[in-house]
Amino acid sequence: MTASSQSNCKLIDSLVAFVKDQRDKSVDYEATSKKNYPDFEYKDKALRSRQRSSRLAFFDGAAEGTEFHGSEIFKVESYLPIFVKLISQLE
């Protein structure tokens, strides 16, 4: 390995570590955005809660539903997948 390629590997490793660190700061980013946009509310606050279909309950039996709200939905559906994809591509 040449000195230049070792340097590139160190830079990429450093970037991966930085991105992993940023992935865990979603709460900080949300707090900053709430401070900048105090009137913002997640869409689900105005919606009624969803109920599981009675047909599914009949065939599959009763099951506890997992319900995400606002920031959890954003984190699970958008925020984390972006970081997972970015980290996997860098590694």
Q: Per the structure block, which two tokens stand in for 13?
A: 């490793």
Give the residue with greater pLDDT, 91 vs 47: 91
pLDDT of residue 14: 92
pLDDT of residue 65: 61
One-letter amino acid of 4: S
φ/ψ of 70, rounded to 5, equals 40, -105
Residue 44 has pLDDT above 80, yes or no: no
| pTM given for the model | 0.59
Sketch the domain layout of the chain as residue ranges.
3-90
Among residues 91, 14, 11, 87, which one has the least CA distance to residue 3?
11
The string of pLDDT tens digits covering residues 5-16 is 888 889 989 999
pLDDT of residue 49: 59
Position 18 confidence tier, pLDDT thresholds 50, 70, 90: very high
Q: What is the mean pLDDT of the chain?
A: 77
